[in-house]
Structure formats: structure tokens, C-alpha cells
Structure 1
């Protein structure tokens, strides 16, 4: 019997397990999924937890519930991959051999990479919201906070969901207004980027929003350390920003086993062909989503669109055929802008976000680079789609390739 091993039972791993189990005969192909956690997290929901909009029941569910029957699920930590031997070693000394390996272990926050970040003030006046634990702790803090300077700091790029720090800032503005303490809160947005975002048109729109909401942006800020005693973050060029509340987006890195396996770059992301999604070094290894180093957003939509391409290419590889499916870097993302509105961006490797309509050209109903209530409801509605359609590998009527139809070019 031939074997496929999938590392990671998050969005990408679960989606691929469902797709491949339907496509491959059970008598010929054994599929095994490995993950060290039993709980599946709806990570887009972490953004809403600090403000009391979402609770645990909406973002945490058992992983086993979403994996298909006929798939082996092993809950264990990964020690390392031996790619030249086509083997995976687990921490319990179990060895898994494979004919094909799909790596979908994502990225994780690494606050220890920044001196002083994860010290005595961690979860007291310094929080993250990219983990369930951090978002929940921040929720408890914000319920009684009476104001001061809140600094939202991005330590380094790339990060999961690049727009989430902006969304957090916008939602915080609304939250403090509802609590009638906005005039007592100074919101500072600190980023290593030279602007609010990486793409010009989106940056212009988002920068305008920051200004309208009286959120002060500090660009080109590369954090070196956190001075916990003085409550300051310090950049490599010596600039300092004082805070009463620091909301950190720590350094994001790939899984630790990638480093032990000698398969990744300095941030443990795996060099991957950006079109075929196959490892640049090993022909029987494919990489999906945040675990790769492909030059697109580390976002859930990328996993969804890339999975369609990966599925076709894995089947081609199994049948000894050329990998003809190509991923164009397609990504789209709802951006919560506060006060019950959101924007929407749609882009790929070569094309920046443009105004227009989505997903139906000329009709929408979503508006690109516009702040609308319908976009906001689209963001909230995606939760149902995620749990009930997307990770189950069911068809969504949205093309994995980005279309220029309905977009406006100046």
C-alpha cells in the first residue's frame, strides 16, 4: 500500500485530507495526518475575542470532527523529517514512511525572539492576539482598562494575515468609542513597513482610515527590544515608543521541526516552487500555506486557493505526469475597518488590490477597496463557510485564479 503523510491538521492539512481521501482508493492509498494538538482553531476569530465579539465556542472545535473517515489521525509532536529517506520521525519514536509528504504546519508566533517581550509584563500590560490564549487574556484586560497609550507593534514580516494588526486597531477605536473612553486612549500603530500595507492602492486607503480615526502610524520601526521597566519599545535605530498597553504581533516562524530537519530558511519557512507548490529540493514533498516561503500573504484564502492547485499537482505526481497546475498567488481578504464596516482586497503575485466588484463582475455584491456594511457581514459570514464547507474540501463557487473581470484600472 502506498502512503501519503500530511503534517498539520489546520486549515490546509484538513482540507487536503478531505480532498485526497475522496479521490484515492482506500485499498491502494493510506493517508495519515499528524498534529500535536487535538483542537482546531478558527484563527480569523481571534481578532474578535479581545472585544467580546466572539467566544471560545466559535473558534475552538475538535480536529477529529473535520477529518474524513479512512484517514489515520496521530496526535503527536514531530521530531524531524528525513526527506532523503522519505520518513517522518515523531517525538514518541514512531517512524512514518511516505511516498508523498504534504507539509501544512503553518507558522507560529515566537515572542522569545524579541528581548523583553515575553517577560514579567507578558499578559499583564503586554499581549498578543494571534493565539487563543493571548486574545482571551487581552479580552479580560480590556474590560476594565481605563485608558492610556496603546501601541500595536509588528515585530517583523512576514506574519499571518498581514491586515489583522490594522483590523485590531480599527476595532479598538470602535470599542473605546462604545465605552466612551476614546478620548482617553492614544492608539499608535508601529510597523517595520514604510506604510500601512505593502501594496500602494491598499496602503493609500488604509492610511486614510488611520488618519480619520486618529490612529498614529510609526513606519519603518524595527523593534530591537522591550524595556519592561520603562514600558517602552526600542528600535534598532534608537527610537523609543512608550506604552501603557502593548499589543504585539511577535516574530512569526515556521515549525521548530523544520529547523531540526534542515529544510527551511532562517525563519523555518520551506523553499517552495511558488507555482507548483512542490519543494524546491525534494520531488515527493509538497508545501501548503504558511509553512512555505512563497511570496504571497500568509492568509487563509491563500491556503484555500493554493489547495486547489496542490490537489491537482499531487494527483499528477502520483500518476507520473508533469505538474501543469499553477498557483498565481491569489489572495483576498476582508478588512474590518470598525463601526460595522469592512473593506475587501483581491490580488495575486503580479496584481495589487484594485477597486471593483467581487465575486461577480459588475454586480458584486462585495465592493473592493470600499468600506461597506455588506463587506462586514461577508467577513462574519465566512465563519460558517469555513467550518461547514471550506475545510471539508467541498466546492466553493470562487475561482482559485484571480480574475481581472470587475476590476478598475486607473
Structure 2
């Protein structure tokens, strides 16, 4: 009996477990999945919790509900991987041998990386919304907050769901408008990026929407520390941004065990060196990496994990059969972006092609519009929660191509800001 071990039972790990169960001969392969937490969170839904749009029941399920029967499940924390020995070490002292290892351990916000961020003001006047606890505490804060300077700050540009901070700004504008207190709230979007997003056409559209909604964009701001006494963000070049309420997107880091393991030439954020087309760990032939745990230069988002899935599955099977790997992943990402007042826009891009205007997924028919606010895009965003629980996690196919298509896109179109 051979062993395939999956580290992480979040979006990517659960999806791949279901795909692999259907693809492998269970008389020859034992599948084991390891995770320390038993609750599965629909993380895109955290965005809606502070504004009273979602509650706990909308975003939580038991992880075991999505595991196929017969799966060997270990509830424990990984402390180290020894790639040369094909061994995983767990916190209870147990070791797991593997023939193939799939790492899907994601990324986690780490507010302690920034001096002053995780201090006395944390969950009093400083909140995150990338965790369930942070989102629910922020919801309570917003219910009674009387206004002032609301600052949304990205401590680092490499984060999961890169559009979520923009969505928070748009939804905050709508939330305070509907409460009749928008004139008492000054919203600032403070980012290390040179603009609202990383790509020119999308930046023009999204930056224009921020301007239209009265959100001040402070770009090229590299956060050094939070001065708790002065309630001020301080950048490395001496800029200061005061706040009354800070919504922070802290530094995002890969799993702690990665640093303790010989996983190659790591960056400071513990993301695993991964071939960006085959999704094999760069220094280890029998280790594959998927989702937010990789260092590939595309968005850390659930849609990306989904688009990676077939490449990972195919290449695990190629590896098992001694065949060359397929360099088929193209960096495909797409994201609905809530813009407030029941509307959203949509972006679709990959390593080589920036988000473009047009229709998705079909030419002319769409029905979704790219880089354009529509109510249907908003409906699509909300409907994705059902797709997530019932299709994506179960490893079933969605009616969209894993590789980005230029069908319906308008590369020469001029976008309006």
C-alpha cells in the first residue's frame, strides 16, 4: 500500500482529496489528510459579516462533512516535513511516511509581524476581517461606531483575496450611506501598491470607483509600525496616517512548519518555492503544492486553487506513472468584486494577461460583465457560496475553463474610470 498525504483541509486540500479519491485505485493507495482545525470556513463570506449580510451559519461547516468515506483523517498540527526522508512530523510526536505529498496549508494573517498592530488597540479600535473572530468582532464595533476616520490598510501586498480590501471600502461606503452617517465617516484606503490594484486597466476602473465614492487612496505606503498612543500608521519613509478605526489586512504568511522544514530557498513569508506551471515543489519531485501555500505569482484566492486543481491532479498521476509533468497552469484567476448598493464587477486574468473589459464566460451573451458594475455580477458573487459548498469543495467540475480564455474579452477597449 502506498501513501498519499495531504497537508491542510481547507479549500484546496478538501477539493483535491475528493478529486484524488475518484482518480486513484484505493486498493493501492491510502489517502490521509491532516489538519488541526475541525471547522471549515467559507472565507469569502467573512467580508459580509461586518456589514450584517452574513452570519456564522452562512460561513461554517464541519470539515468532515466534505471528506469521502474511508479517508484517513488526522486532527493534528504539522511541525516539520523531512523531504529527503519522505516523512511528516506532527505535534503529538506521530510521524507519517508518504510516497506523494500534497501541501495545501494556505496562508494566515500574522498581526504580530507589525510592531504596535497586535497591542492594546487590537479588537478595540483595530480589527481584521480575514478571520472569523475578527469579522464578527468588527460587526459589533460597526453597530455602535459613531464615525470618524476609518482607515483600511494593507500591511503587505501579498495577501489572500487581494480584492477583498477594496470590497470592504466599497461596502463600508454603502453601509454608512444607508445608515445616514456617511458624512461623518472619512474613509482612507492605504496601500503599498502604486494604485488601487496591480494591473493598469483594473486599477483605472477600481481607482475611479473609489474616487467616485469619496474614498481617499494613499498609495506607496509601506507600513513600518502602528503608534498606538497617537493612533497613527507610520511608514518606512516617515509618512503618517491617523485613524479612529483601523481595518487592517496584516502580513500574510505560510504555515509555520515550512520554516522548520527543508523546503528550498524560502522567502520571509514561508511560501513554498513552486514551479508556476507544473505546481511541483521546485526541489522535490514527489511534493506538489496548491493554493495559497505556493509562491507562484498569481492571486491567492479560492478560484485560483480551483483552476490549479486539474493541473495538480494530472501531474500527480503523471508522477505516479513515471511520465513527464504537464506545464498546464497559466496563473488563471477570476474574482467578483462587490462595489456596494447591490452591484459588483468581475475580473478575469492570468500570468500574462491583465484584467480586460468584455463578457464572461461567453462572447456577447456573457452573462457576466468584466470590469463593469452590474447587479448580475452581485448575484453571481452571492450565488458562489452555494457553488462553493456543493460543487467546488466536492471536487466537481465547474462550467468554466481552467485555463484563461480570451473569448469575450476586449483587449483594445478603453476603460472608463
The two structures have a TM-score, normalised by structure 1, of 0.99
Matches within 5 A, 1:75-154: 75-154=75-154
Q: Does the residue aligned with 1:65 lie in a helix, a strand or coil?
A: helix
Q: 1:160-197: per-residue Cα shift (whole Å, max 9, x none)?
A: 01010000000000000111000000000000000000
Aligned match of 2:243: 243
Question: What's the counterpart of residue 300 of structure 1?
Answer: 302
- Within 5 Å, give how 1:275-314 maps onto structure 2: 275-314=277-316
1:225-270 alpha-carbon deviations (Å, 9 max, x no partner): 0011111010001110100000000000000000011323211000
Q: Does 1:62 align with 2:62?
A: yes
Contact 1:274 1:295 in 2 (8 A): yes
Matched, 1:182 2:168: no
Q: Which residue of 1 aligns with 2:345?
A: 343
Q: How many pairs were matched up?
A: 410
- Aligned-partner SS, 2:377: helix
Give the corresponding residue for 1:194: 194
Give distance in 2, aligned partners of 1:320 and 1:25: 16
Structure 2 CA distance for aligned equivalents of residues 213 and 34 of structure 1: 44
- What's the offset of the Cα at 1:336? 0.3
CA contact under 8 A between 2:361 and 2:407: conserved in structure 1? no
SS at match of 1:366: strand
Please state if 1:155 is matched with 2:159. no
Contact 1:312/1:325 (8 A) holds in 2? no
Deviation at 1:24, TM superposition (A): 1.0
Q: 2:252 corresponds to which residue?
A: 252
Paired position in structure 1 for 2:332: 330
Q: Distance in 2 between matches of 1:218 and 1:54?
A: 30
After the TM superposition, which residues 27-66 of structure 1 pair with which residues of structure 2 at under 5 Å, given as runs?
A: 27-66=27-66
Supply the distance in 2 between the matched residues of 1:32 and 1:290 (Cα, whole angstroms). 20
Alpha-carbon separation, structure 2, partners of 1:390 and 1:289:
13
**Aligned-partner SS, 1:395:** coil
Mapped contact 2:336–2:346 kept (Cα < 8 A) = yes
How many Å separate the matches in 2 of 1:300 and 1:15?
A: 10
Once residues 390 and 177 of structure 1 are traced to their aligned partners in structure 2, the CA distance between those partners, rounded to angstroms, is 35
Does the CA contact (< 8 Å) of 1:19 and 1:393 recur in 2? Answer: yes
Indicate if the aligned counterparts of 1:26 and 1:70 stay in contact, CA closer than 8 A: no
Q: CA deviation at 1:325?
A: 4.8
> Helix, strand or coil for the counterpart of 1:234?
strand
In 2, Cα distance between equivalents of 1:399 and 1:33:
27
Find the aligned partners of 1:261 and 1:94 in 2 and give their Cα distance: 16
Deviation of the 1:23 alpha carbon: 1.2
- Determine the structure 2 residue equivalent to 1:388: 390
Q: Distance in 1 between the 2:50 and 2:262 partners?
A: 37
- 3-state SS of paired residue (1:57): helix
Q: Does the 8 Å contact 1:21/1:70 carry over to 2?
A: no
Deviating more after overlay: 102-111 vs 258-267:
258-267
- What per-residue deviation string (whole Å, max 9, x for no partner) do you get for residues 359-406 of structure 1? 112211000000000000000000000000111011211110000011
| Distance (whole Å) between structure 2 residues aligned to residue 183 and residue 140 of structure 1 | 21
Q: Summarize deviations over 1:131-188 as a string: whole Å, max 9, x none.
A: 0000000000000001000000000120001010000000000000111000000000
Which runs of 5 or more structure 2 residues have no equivalent in the other structure? Answer: 413-417
Give secondary structure in 1 for the equivalent of 2:121.
coil
RMSD after superposition: 0.6
- Asked if the contact 2:346/2:372 (under 8 Å) is kept, the reply is yes
**Aligned partners of 1:104 and 1:289 also within 8 Å:** yes
SS in 1 for 2:57: helix
Give, in whole Å, the separation in 2 of the partners of 1:361 and 1:32. Answer: 42
